[in-house]
Amino acid sequence: NAGVTQTPKFQVLKTGQSMTLQCAQDMNHEYMSWYRQDPGMGLRLIHYSVGAGITDQGEVPNGYNVSRSTTEDFPLRLLSAAPSQTSVYFCASSYRGHYNYGYTFGSGTRLTVV
């Protein structure tokens, strides 16, 4: 099925470990973003990309890196995991201007850092 695919769905990390959350979309969307969702808070933007080779920081970028080598893929890297990064992470994509076209979201990755 077309859409946004995130892997893994669940992950437990030890403090200090690194890992990459994968995100792929097959809709030829230009915009891709990573959000984190914490209890009692709205989704917060970590990083986003307006096209292959272009990335920028969102509201809460510290501790995360991204790259966009292809239109389809937008991985999120945690450099040295901390308990504060325990959260549910969503990847989203949109055709051009996301604020007008809205996002298609992946199913999320639930990350626990112990």
Partner 1 sequence: KNQVEQSPQSLIILEGKNCTLQCNYTVSPFSNLRWYKQDTGRGPVSLTIMTFSENTKSNGRYTATLDADTKQSSLHITASQLSDSASYICVVSDNNDMRFGAGTRLTVKP
Which residues of this protein are in contact with partner 1, per CB under 8 A?
A: 4, 35, 40-45, 90, 92, 98-100, 102-103, 105-108
Tell me the closest approach of the beta carbon of residue 102 to partner 1, in angstroms: 5
Q: How far is the CB of 49 from partner 1 (least distance, A)?
A: 15
Q: Which is nearer to partner 1, 24 or 43 (CB)?
A: 43
- Find residue 21's DSSP bridge partners: 76
Angle in degrees, CA 56, 62, 64, rounded to 5: 70
- Based on CB atoms, which residue is closest to partner 1, 17 or 73? 73
Cα–Cα distance measured from residue 64 to residue 57, given in angstroms and rounded to the nearest whole number? 10
14 versus 99: smaller Cβ distance to partner 1 = 99
Residue placing its CB nearer to partner 1 in the complex, 43 or 81: 43
Query: Beta strands of 1-114 (E only): which ranges?
Result: 4-7, 10-13, 19-25, 31-37, 44-51, 54-57, 64-66, 76-78, 87-94, 104-105, 109-113
Q: How far is the CB of 100 from partner 1 (least distance, A)?
A: 7
